Amino acid sequence: MKVFEANISLLGADFLAKKLSNFSVLESANELLQFTTGIKSFFSYKSELIELKEKLSISLYSVKEPDREEYGDFQTNRLLANKITNRIHEQGINPEIIIEPTCGKGNFIVASLNNFSGIKQIIGIEIYKPYVWETKFSILDFFLKNPKCSKPTIEIFHYNVFDFDFKNFSNLVINNNLLIIGNPPWVTNSQLGSLNSNNLPKKSNFKNLNGLDAMTGKANFDIAEYITLSLFEAFQCINGHLALLIKNSVVKNIVFDQKAKQYRIGSIEKHCIDSKKEFNVSVESSLLFCKLNSSPEFECREYNFYNKEMSLCFGWVKNKFVSNTATYLHTQSIEGICPLEWRQGIKHDCSTVMELERTNGHYWNNLKENVVIEDELVFGLLKSSDLKNTVINETRKYTIVTQSKVGQETNYIKHQFPETYKYLYKHLSVFQSRKSSIYKGKPLFSIFGIGDYSFKLYKVAISGLYKTFHFTLVLPQKDKPVMLDDTCYFIGFENIEYAVYAIILLNSPQTEDFLRSITFPDAKRVFTKDILMRINLLKLALNCSKQYIEEQLKYINDKYSLNLDLKLWDNFIKELTPMKEKQMTLFGH
Ligand SMILES: C[S@@+](CC[C@H](N)C(=O)[O-])C[C@H]1O[C@@H](n2cnc3c(N)ncnc32)[C@H](O)[C@@H]1O
């Protein structure tokens, strides 16, 4: 049943209804409840006491829960909260102070009361008043069932966690053994942006990103990450531990940022949970567990929460961030900087108009319109889902390429390709409603991810979204280069031989092992420009045996009816060799 929109058990409701019937003075009611539960100021105002008595005396009602998306509201079930606190206790941890930074319905607080015998003080913070009540009711319930348990001082604050002064609080707990436990909100700033919500920290660019990164995906962050980092900051000199359920991406970001920020955390562990089972969501998440007030550590051991088995360790190996420190040690020989620049494909955020399909010699857009335009600006297009084969020479889709470099004026289309201009102009409103601020103040029909490199005839590409460690050779279509969309990354070549040599190297077991040791399979984008730039193609070419290259070349020739040889191999190596090294060889060093 519900009171103040908060669930309350029959035991709790019955206790309150009976005991409070004789109390009308706020202080006396609060004294009784502190005696029973340890909670200080159970009622903040007399009006709350009166209201609660009224609600309990009339029939108890149930209210439909409002939409709480902006609060990242995924309550931890009691069983899981209990298992987590129990696991912490098994490790010999018996905290005196508990902080639950966004306590929700209070399941971690009650689980802590269940599992830790030495708690002196509990602080819970929650923005949603019904949950504040539900937490208090659950604590009441706990002590009614366990009257002999010792009662810590408990404060449940109806407060915005971003306004809570943890630093000030930390000054009061200097000599105590602290446990920060909980499950901060699962919501990102960009989700909040689309919900028009301001459930955000004041300093939203807390990673100090530059203007362009702040405009693009890099500035997207989970508010759980902000909360976790604020807690590290506030409690860095306090003895204790932190145990928070957060998305795997947040754990990874924290360990990544650890190098620059040097938070005083150590014994960092990630215990993977089954989010589908526990929260019915498809986001990978884990319990981040670490020691506070420790000299900074830069590795994180990963475990399966349920069977306690350790799977791997990720983090920093010297100045390289890797997903598996053990396998990286065997694959690192090709780590470096790729001599050729990996590029991201075209971004236009306007697929309804800019992407075409061709049937019976006619182009059609996603609005099912027959598009009659000049051929010049139309190029074959490949998306992530197209990059399944090793060689592609035909595309299912096409795209209109309005610029040959970022920012180029697009007026020329009007004069040189009037039908194309007419078509684009007819759909001007679709272009104008593109949300991303990168299009603001740019020429009409602007695109991004375009440059000389886009027009190279031969490309070696990979999908950033898929977990397949497979590179594809993209050949020209009717003598025109094929474009890739912005979910893909590629390097371009002027001749097919170089492209084929590159694909042989990139699809080698050596590259796959290296990539597996530096990529995170649960990342939104497994492959990014930063990851791909770490493959030193020159070292790889020099490491690979000639016999392997010859075998692979024969296989590709046979399978795709090509007739390529290794005559250009030495030139390819020269092309990959940085200018400085070329000069050194020239002068006999
Ligand atoms: C993922 S739920 C977890 C709740 C609880 N810690 C648990 O483990 O069951 C996140 C909680 O954070 C609360 N919350 C969201 N934004 C908040 C804010 N700015 N200040 C305090 N609490 C907030 C939500 O109302 C929700 O109860």
349-369: per-residue pLDDT in tens? 999 999 999 998 899 999 999
CA distances from 230 to 205, 224, 226, 521, 523 (A): 14, 10, 6, 27, 23
345 Ramachandran zone, left/alpha/beta (phi>0; psi -120 to 50): beta
- Residues having CB within 6 Å of any atom of ligand 1: 71-76, 100, 102-105, 107-108, 125-128, 131, 160-162, 182-183, 185-186, 199
Quick one: what percent of the chain has pLDDT higher than 90? 78
pLDDT at 62 over 50: no
Distance 27 CA to ligand 1 centre (A): 29
Distance 368 CA to ligand 1 centre (A): 45
For ligand 1, pick from 71, 242, 280 the residue to mutate: most ligand atoms within 8 Å of CB: 71
Q: For residue 206, what pLDDT is reported?
A: 62
Which atom of ligand 1 is nearest the CA belonging to 81?
A: 8
Distance 309 CA to ligand 1 centre (A): 30
pLDDT at 273 over 90: yes
Of 220, 225, 222, the C-alpha closest to 244 is: 225
pLDDT (tens digit per residue) in 520-542? 998 889 999 999 999 999 999 99
The answer to whether 495 and 458 are in contact (CB under 8 A) is yes
pLDDT at 402 over 80: yes
Q: For residue 144, what pLDDT is reported?
A: 95
The stretch 14-27 carries a mean pLDDT of 84
The stretch 277-301 carries a mean pLDDT of 95
Residue nearest to atom 15 of ligand 1 (CA): 71
The answer to whether 18 and 5 are in contact (CB under 8 A) is no
The stretch 3-24 carries a mean pLDDT of 83
Q: What is the CA radius of gyration of the chain?
A: 30
Residue 472 binned pLDDT confidence (cut-offs 50, 70, 90): very high
Q: Hey, CA dihedral for 420, 425, 427, 428, is it positive or negative? A: positive
Q: For residue 434, what pLDDT is reported?
A: 92
Distance 68 CA to ligand 1 centre (A): 10
C-alpha 546/C-alpha 552 separation (Å) is: 10
pLDDT at 584 over 70: no
Continuous segment of H or E residues that includes residue 325: helix 325-331
The answer to whether 396 and 386 are in contact (CB under 8 A) is yes
Strand 362-365 relative to strand 370-371: parallel, antiparallel, unpaired? antiparallel
C-alpha 230/C-alpha 328 separation (Å) is: 31
Q: For the chain, what is the mean pLDDT?
A: 91
Residue 458, Cβ neighbours under 10 Å: how many? Answer: 23
Distance 292 CA to ligand 1 centre (A): 22
Q: Which of the given ranges, 18-27, 211-220, 355-364, has the highest pLDDT on average?
A: 355-364
pLDDT at 39 over 80: yes
Cα 483 to chain centroid distance, Å, stands at 27
C-alpha 59/C-alpha 254 separation (Å) is: 49
Distance 61 CA to ligand 1 centre (A): 24
Distance 416 CA to ligand 1 centre (A): 57
Kindly give the residue spans of alpha helices, DSSP state H, lying in 384-448: 412-416, 418-426, 428-432
Residue nearest to atom 16 of ligand 1 (CA): 71
Read off the amino acid at residue 334: I
pLDDT (tens digit per residue) in 542-573? 999 999 999 999 999 999 999 999 999 999 99
Residue 59 binned pLDDT confidence (cut-offs 50, 70, 90): very low
Strand order in the sheet with 240-247: 153-158, 121-126, 97-100, 178-182, 240-247, 285-292, 265-273, 299-304, 310-317, 320-322
For ligand 1, pick from 100, 110, 126, 285 the residue to mutate: most ligand atoms within 8 Å of CB: 126
The stretch 475-481 carries a mean pLDDT of 96
Q: For residue 4, what pLDDT is reported?
A: 83
The answer to whether 49 and 20 are in contact (CB under 8 A) is yes
Residue 575 binned pLDDT confidence (cut-offs 50, 70, 90): very high
Residue nearest to atom 13 of ligand 1 (CA): 102
pLDDT at 65 over 60: no
Distance 406 CA to ligand 1 centre (A): 42
Quick one: what percent of the chain has pLDDT higher than 70? 93
Q: For residue 63, what pLDDT is reported?
A: 41
Continuous segment of H or E residues that includes residue 231: helix 223-234
Residue 60 binned pLDDT confidence (cut-offs 50, 70, 90): very low
Q: For residue 582, what pLDDT is reported?
A: 57
The stretch 203-217 carries a mean pLDDT of 57
Residue nearest to atom 19 of ligand 1 (CA): 160
Lowest mean pLDDT segment, chosen from 47-51, 302-306, 331-335: 47-51
